[in-house]
């Protein structure tokens, strides 16, 4: 895969070699993310950070990643605050904004919208999530986290068993992550969801065609001997009514008691976040917060590393980052 100058729109662009390249560069970014040193390699570069749908992690970590490489960030948030609300096309918006920036990260509620935008862009565009379709940078950071967590337990991605739980129909993170996992060997998928919110057949086809095993279930059953438990939120913003979403909220709560009953003591708990902590949902209970296998905040930290790596690769500076090292002069909490 040639990263330099390329859009990152879908996990379909990645093979194992490309993933390894991203992970190697991400690993090199750790001292910068930990503020042990800083770099000005992207001094003068501008990220256009366009988020037309709510976000905390993805938007801020894209911006943080770009700042940590020495670049500047210009943001647009919310459809109603942009000229898209006046009927401007994605193509025109892209032509205009690609004259203002060096690279663009974008989230939009419509499937295929980021790819449509990229057609009008003269600079690289990174997909920060397009409707229920894909979230490629989340999938890469999830996979990076899985690799690190499994390595800490003396195993690796090949041969692993992942349980994906919740709204597998609308959850773009599980779609993208499943596709990336299919590049590895002998993966077992346990897919737990209400039957109305099951994993789309297009993703099941990818799993089947890659020769992996999967089971589909509508509840936690017995001992799920998974290495990874990947919990998701009911994506209420994708339902036609709140009442319809409410039918499913709270159906798959995970707390310490349920975890102990159904998972191994070493099963790593992941969630793309945000977790819905309201009482009627509470899909990932706070009583798991001190469980050492809860990896959700290691995931969010890893998101900065992976997004730094993608910026460095697409802007072609990955091999010269350390040539622009500077000291950190302020107090840093360890």
Cα 15 to the center of its chain, rounded Å: 17
Please report, for the chain, how many H helices and E strands are present, in that order. 11, 11
Separation CA 83–CA 110 (nearest Å): 16
Instruction: Decide whether 57 or 298 has the Cβ nearer to ligand CP.
Output: 57
Separation CA 180–CA 176 (nearest Å): 6
User: Contact between 274 and ligand CP (CB under 6 A)?
Assistant: yes
Identify which of 261, 265, 264, 289 has the alpha carbon closest to the alpha carbon of residue 275.
289
Instruction: Decide whether 63 or 124 has the Cβ nearer to ligand CP.
Output: 63
Instruction: Decide whether 129 or 136 has the Cβ nearer to ligand CP.
Output: 129
Interface pick for ligand CP out of 49, 58, 113, 147 (rule CB under 6 A):
58
Min CB(154)–ligand CP separation in Å: 28
Interface pick for ligand CP out of 12, 24, 43, 56 (rule CB under 6 A):
56
Helices in the chain by DSSP H: which ranges?
Answer: 16-28, 30-33, 57-68, 90-97, 113-120, 136-152, 172-181, 201-209, 242-246, 256-262, 296-314
User: Contact between 272 and ligand CP (CB under 6 A)?
Assistant: yes
Interface pick for ligand CP out of 21, 35, 57, 253 (rule CB under 6 A):
57
User: Contact between 231 and ligand CP (CB under 6 A)?
Assistant: no
Near ligand CP in 146-205, by CB under 6 A: none
Place of tokens 């930990």: 34
Instruction: Decide whether 109 or 194 has the Cβ nearer to ligand CP.
Output: 109
Place of tokens 């991203």: 22
Instruction: Decide whether 38 or 107 has the Cβ nearer to ligand CP.
Output: 107
Per-residue x/- marks for ligand CP, 304-333, CB under 6 A? ------------------------------
Cα 298 to the center of its chain, rounded Å: 13
Interface pick for ligand CP out of 98, 127, 138, 302 (rule CB under 6 A):
138
Separation CA 126–CA 9 (nearest Å): 6
Instruction: Decide whether 138 or 178 has the Cβ nearer to ligand CP.
Output: 138
Place of tokens 């004259």: 99
User: Contact between 277 and ligand CP (CB under 6 A)?
Assistant: no
Angle, vertex CA 239, rays to CA 59 and CA 250, nearest 5: 85
Min CB(176)–ligand CP separation in Å: 11
Write out the residues near ligand CP by the rule CB under 6 A.
55-59, 129, 138, 272-274
């Amino acid at each position: 895969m040639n990263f330099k100058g390329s859009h990152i729109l879908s996990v379909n662009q990645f093979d194992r070699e490309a993933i390894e390249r991203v992970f190697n560069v991400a690993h090199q970014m750790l001292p910068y993310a930990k503020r042990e040193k800083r770099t000005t390699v992207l001094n003068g570069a501008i990220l256009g950070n366009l988020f037309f749908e709510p976000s905390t992690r993805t938007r801020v970590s894209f911006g943080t990643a770009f700042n940590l490489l020495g670049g500047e960030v210009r943001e647009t948030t919310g459809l109603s605050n942009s000229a898209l609300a006046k009927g401007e096309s994605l193509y025109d918006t892209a032509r205009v904004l690609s004259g203002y920036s060096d690279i663009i990260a974008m989230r939009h509620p419509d499937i295929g919208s980021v790819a449509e935008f990229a057609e009008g862009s003269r600079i690289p565009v990174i997909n920060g999530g397009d409707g229920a379709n894909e979230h490629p940078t989340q999938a890469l950071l999830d996979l990076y986290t899985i690799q690190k967590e499994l390595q800490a337990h003396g195993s690796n991605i090949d041969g692993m068993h992942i349980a994906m739980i919740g709204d597998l129909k609308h959850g773009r993170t599980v779609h993208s992550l499943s596709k990336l996992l299919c590049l590895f060997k002998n993966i077992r998928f346990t897919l737990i969801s209400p039957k109305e919110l099951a994993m789309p057949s297009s993703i099941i086809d990818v799993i089947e065609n890659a020769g992996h095993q999967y089971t589909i279930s509508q509840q936690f059953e017995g001992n799920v001997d998974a290495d990874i438990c990947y919990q998701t939120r009911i994506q209420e913003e994708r339902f036609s009514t709140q009442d319809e979403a409410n039918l499913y909220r709270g159906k798959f709560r995970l707390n310490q008691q349920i975890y102990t009953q159904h998972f191994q003591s070493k099963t790593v708990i992941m969630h793309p976040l945000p977790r819905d902590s309201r009482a009627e949902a509470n899909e990932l209970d706070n009583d798991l917060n001190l469980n050492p296998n809860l990896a959700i905040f290691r995931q969010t930290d890893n998101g900065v590393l992976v997004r730094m790596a993608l910026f460095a690769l697409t802007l072609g500076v990955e091999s010269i980052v350390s040539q622009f090292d500077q000291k950190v002069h302020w107090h840093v909490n360890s």
